[in-house]
A = this chain, B = another copy of it.
Amino acid sequence: MPDVTSERTETDHEVLAAVLQIRSETLQVLLWQRAQQPDRGRWALPGGLLGHDEDVQTSMLRQLEDKVDVREVAHIEQLGVFSEPRRVPGIRLVATTFLGLVPCDADPTVPEDTRWHPVAELPPTAFDHAEIVRDARDRLRAKLSYTNLGFALAPQEFTISELRELYVSALGHPVSATNLQRVLARRGVLVPTGEVAPPGPTGGRPAALFRFAERRLRVTDASAVLRPPNVGD
């Protein structure tokens, strides 16, 4: 409530992003190595303190500019608030966390202290950042199934095989190219460009190129069972 008393209740507030990208057929997250105590040498998510005159998402994008070109971030969304009082030793710091996604064909230049790490085998991480990365991965996996979120991992144009590789890397389990193609086509998520990609050195039929019909998040799986009746009318 806005009735702020004289009692001191302010807290520092940071924003943190788990920026994910498929690199070398592996789901990776952008981390930087802390040079100072506490948790010196451990790897941390990019972020920083919330400024006076910005909302959390604006702040997050601003902070990411230092680490990765923001134009490369195809999608960003809030994950949740981490606010355990002792999550960072020494000070009280509340974190609003984000999931960010970078298409696999982008190769942003990142600072010296910054590196991509496979989400499946994280190095020692600072504070509660490993949990945040897990949450981000789980959110991505869930949304790949019932939304068009693949657009944020894929390049502008791609073949079905390439898209399949991305889904396999993100989901961590086999995906059939045949069915992926049909499911996404039926839902109107993919549209053919009409072009084909040249075959590889070992030959094979040239693959048709596709792009995502929309590059903004949309829920595509209507199979929520308690939806309104007669939707088809």
Q: Contact partner of A221 among B144, B224, B228, CB < 8 A?
A: B224
Q: Contact partner of A11 among B48, B50, B174, CB < 8 A?
A: B50
> Does B228 lie within 8 Å of A173, measured CB to CB?
yes
CB neighbours of A144 from chain B (8 A): 226
Which A residues, 1 to 20, have Cβ-Cβ distances below 8 Å to chain B? 1-4, 9-14
User: CA separation between A55 and B81, bound complex, in Å?
Assistant: 9
User: CA separation between A221 and B227, bound complex, in Å?
Assistant: 13
Which A residues, 45 to 63, have Cβ-Cβ distances below 8 Å to chain B? 47-56
CB neighbours of A160 from chain B (8 A): none
Q: Is A93 an interface residue (CB 8 A)?
A: yes
> Does A12 lie within 8 Å of B12, measured CB to CB?
no
Q: Is A85 an interface residue (CB 8 A)?
A: yes
Q: Determine chain A's interface SS by DSSP, over half rule.
A: loop
Q: Is A171 an interface residue (CB 8 A)?
A: yes
Instruction: Give the nearest-CB partner of A44 in chain B.
Output: B1
Q: Is A214 an interface residue (CB 8 A)?
A: no
Q: Contact partner of A145 among B93, B94, B171, B225, CB < 8 A?
A: B225
Q: Is A83 an interface residue (CB 8 A)?
A: yes
> Does A223 lie within 8 Å of B226, measured CB to CB?
no
Q: Which residues of A contact B (CB under 8 A)?
A: 1-4, 9-14, 36, 38, 44, 47-56, 78, 80-81, 83-85, 88, 90-94, 96, 127, 142, 144-146, 167, 171, 173-176, 180, 183, 221, 223-229
